[in-house]
Amino acid sequence: MNKNDLGIKMPVYIKWFPPSWIQIKYEEHIIYVDPAYLKTYYNDYPHKIEFSTWPDEIDGLPEEDLEKADIILVTHHHKDHCKQVTIKRLRNDNTLVLAPEICNKELDKDFEDVEPGDQLQLEDIKIEVVPAYNTPEGNSTKKYHKKGVGVGYLIKIKDKTIYHAGDSDFIPEMKEFGKLDVAFLPIGGTFTMDMDEALDAVMSIKPKIMVPMHMKDANPTEFKKLVEENSDLKVVLLEIGGVYTLKD
């Protein structure tokens, strides 16, 4: 008998690593989204461990004791989101890796293809695959993410929903996602929505908590101020390895 059988509700722990890597812990389940170790993000982070460095393939983890995954979700093929050596560090023989077809080269086809509309149920956890792309009218300065190529994810745990947007502009589909408890949205502006467009997205989808990611040179403190001055919505800024606890 687990604690849920006794009517005790378990919290969900969400840990963030740059640029868009999150770890979700719920009971004994571990989920990663976009795990990709790039040295540049961790130069001053004291907990990192590196197994090899340039000119060999850069292989490391931000923290040595990261748990093995039950599920790994990849949004698209770019190296700051999809890195085979990092995924191998975090998976075991039973880990389910989901990614769009464009990740074939990077992951040697060692995953299950997904596309928007796909769903997966694992006990109390439901994964919904949703679109992620750059729009012609969006503020992103480089339109590398074509519609139908990359994805985002809605991760539903019991009655809570966590949204990971991947690399995306503010797209119409976001308005159809329903209640969002936590939304991870990019604010960097080069390959994704910028702070102004992310503000529009937040004001439209109204998550209970918004966490900025894929920030590039954007100032997250400025973004938090922008949102909270224009709404009653809450922005949570996480440091590298910082954890947000999602409770009832």
* SS (HEC) of 4-70: HHHCCCCCEEEEEECCCEEEEEECCEEEEECCCCCHHHCCCCCCCEEEECCCCCCEEECCCCCCCCC
Q: What is the DSSP letter of 226?
A: H
The CATH homologous superfamily for domain 8-246 is Ribonuclease Z/Hydroxyacylglutathione hydrolase-like (3.60.15.10)
- Tell me the pLDDT band of 10, cut-offs 50, 70 and 90: confident
Span 134-191, pLDDT tens digits: 999 999 999 999 999 999 999 999 899 999 999 999 999 999 999 999 999 999 999 9
Q: Is the pLDDT of residue 2 over 80?
A: no
**1-10, 122-131, 193-202, 204-213: lowest mean pLDDT where?**
1-10
pTM for this structure?
0.95
- Tell me the pLDDT band of 107, cut-offs 50, 70 and 90: very high
Secondary structure class of 218 (helix, strand, coil): coil
- Tell me the pLDDT band of 4, cut-offs 50, 70 and 90: low
Residues 11-22: what's their mean pLDDT?
98
